């Protein structure tokens, strides 16, 4: 009995000694999981992102609340929340060389939340390249007018640019892009395989903003261009006949005596081939040093950039219809030149035949119709060119006086 009492007393003392002055150590509780995960595209911390790349945030296992993507200036980028509130997608282009930051919350089924946070940075180009057109928005053109896009700097990745270009026509038109030589920049032309059908409506779209042109250059902006093709007017100019016909919608409306280039030297040979009317002037000072300089000519219609015009020249009236004596232009009487001038439109074809030198790249910007169709297709940056137009919503698509440097209609400005 005494031994049992001593044992109980020792146990009581031991228990008291263990509890006196001690602090209980809490057991770590598992962190409560909200049950929702957030995915960003592009990911947080990403750099050199195209300003037109898809941008979104998605909540898996929950819904989004008060989500926003904000520019450095504090402006909220336009975006749309999906009906189930599980994803948010940016709906406008971003700016170049800018940082964008996410904010908001993802709420799980349990009511717990996960923050939407993180930032990414868009690409900062070494340069941006702009484009102009030779046709103005809303212009009416002749049946041989090519679509010409002139870039203000060389384009290294021509295929990337060409993929971003679309031509839509009503009625369906088969055509192709071709990249032609250009000093100080790049230019690409789209022409139909055959002359345009009169009345064709043409829509050109260039989704060029955000396109990597190569060598550190990117597209400055998107653009659209809309124009229509007018009546069919073709000038038939056979130098051996010393005459010229103007054919409107299949009917000859003028058949007149003219004089072509004398042809005794290469410099005064009127080039054979399909020329294109590019500009016209009631009065024009012409120069061809050392032969003549600042000679005033009337009713001048330019048909190439090598100095070829159809214009009045009273000095050759006596031989018009019987001899070719000019420096390469097509000379008409004053009355015939004025009448023809009134009918001419940008883009009209002038088909010259019967001379010993053909129209070529040496003769200026628009020699498109001097290139046969298969060769033209080979000048596309894409395999096979765009020889087969795909059906569009209202037709088909394939990717003033004077040359009008058109103002392409820009798309909405991106977020800066």
Q: Which residues are catalytic?
A: 311, 329
What whole-number distance in Å separates Cα of residue 280 and Cα of residue 278?
7
DSSP-assigned states of every residue in 309-345: EEEE-GGGGGGTTT---BSSSEEE-HHHHHHHHHH--
Provide Rg for the chain, Cα atoms.
Answer: 36
- HEC string of 357-412 equals CECCHHHCCCCHHHCCHHHHHHCCCCCCCCCCCEECCCCEEECCCCCCCECCEECC
Give the H or E element holding residue 246.
strand 243-248
Buried b (16+ CB within 10 A) or exposed e, 106-133: bbbeeeeebebebebbbbebeebbbbbb
Structure tokens, 22 = 């001690």
Q: How far from the centroid of its chain's Cα atoms is residue 252's Cα? A: 38
**3-class secondary structure, 7:** helix
Tell me whether the omega of the peptide bond preceding residue 348 falls within 30 degrees of 0, making it cis.
no
What whole-number distance in Å separates Cα of residue 190 and Cα of residue 386?
10
Burial of 302 (0-12, 13-18, 19+ CB in 10 A): buried
Q: Taking Cα atoms as reference points, which of 357, 344, 258 lies closest to residue 306?
A: 357
Q: Cα dist. 125→96, 210, 219, 220, 223 in Å? A: 7, 10, 9, 10, 19
Cβ(333)–Cβ(312) below 8 Å:
yes
Structure tokens, 242 = 């010393």
**Beta-strand pair 233-238/349-353:** parallel
Q: Cα dist. 403→73, 162, 169, 415 in Å? A: 42, 23, 22, 34
């Amino acid at each position: 009995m005494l031994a049992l009492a001593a044992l109980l007393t020792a146990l009581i003392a031991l228990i008291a000694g263990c509890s006196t002055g001690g602090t209980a150590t809490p057991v770590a509780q598992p962190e409560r999981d909200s049950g929702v995960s957030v995915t960003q595209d592009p990911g947080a911390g990403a750099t050199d992102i195209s300003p037109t790349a898809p941008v979104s945030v998605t909540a898996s296992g929950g819904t989004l609340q008060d989500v926003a993507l904000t520019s450095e200036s504090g402006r909220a980028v336009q975006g749309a929340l999906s009906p189930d509130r599980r994803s948010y997608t940016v709906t406008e282009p971003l700016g170049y060389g800018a940082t964008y930051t996410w904010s908001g919350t993802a709420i799980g089924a349990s009511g717990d939340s996960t923050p939407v946070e993180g930032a990414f940075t868009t690409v900062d180009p070494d340069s941006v390249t702009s484009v102009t057109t030779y046709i103005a928005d809303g212009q009416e053109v002749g049946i041989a007018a090519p679509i010409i896009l002139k870039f203000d700097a060389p384009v290294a990745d021509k295929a990337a640019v060409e993929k971003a270009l679309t031509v839509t026509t009503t009625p369906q038109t088969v055509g192709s892009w071709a990249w032609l030589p250009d000093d100080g920049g790049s230019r690409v032309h789209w022409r139909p395989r055959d002359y345009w059908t009169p009345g064709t409506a043409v829509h050109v779209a260039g989704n060029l903003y955000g396109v990597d042109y190569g060598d550190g250059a990117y597209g400055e902006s998107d653009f659209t261009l809309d124009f229509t093709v007018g009546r069919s007017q073709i000038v038939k100019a056979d130098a051996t006949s010393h005459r010229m016909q103007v054919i409107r919608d299949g009917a000859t409306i003028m058949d007149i005596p003219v004089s072509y280039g004398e042809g005794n030297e290469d410099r005064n040979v009127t080039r054979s081939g399909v020329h294109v009317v590019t500009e016209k002037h009631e009065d024009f000072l012409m120069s061809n040093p050392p032969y003549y300089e600042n000679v005033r000519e009337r009713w001048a219609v330019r048909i190439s950039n090598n100095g070829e015009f159809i214009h009045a020249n009273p000095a050759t009236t006596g031989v018009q219809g019987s001899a070719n004596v000019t420096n390469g232009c097509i000379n008409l009487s004053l009355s015939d030149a004025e009448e023809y001038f009134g009918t001419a439109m940008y883009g009209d074809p002038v088909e010259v035949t019967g001379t010993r030198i053909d129209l070529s790249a040496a003769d200026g910007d628009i020699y498109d119709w001097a290139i046969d169709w298969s060769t033209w297709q080979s000048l596309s940056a894409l395999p096979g060119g765009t020889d087969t137009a795909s059906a569009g919503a209202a037709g088909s698509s394939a990717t003033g006086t004077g040359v009008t440097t058109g103002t392409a209609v820009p798309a909405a400005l991106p977020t800066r």
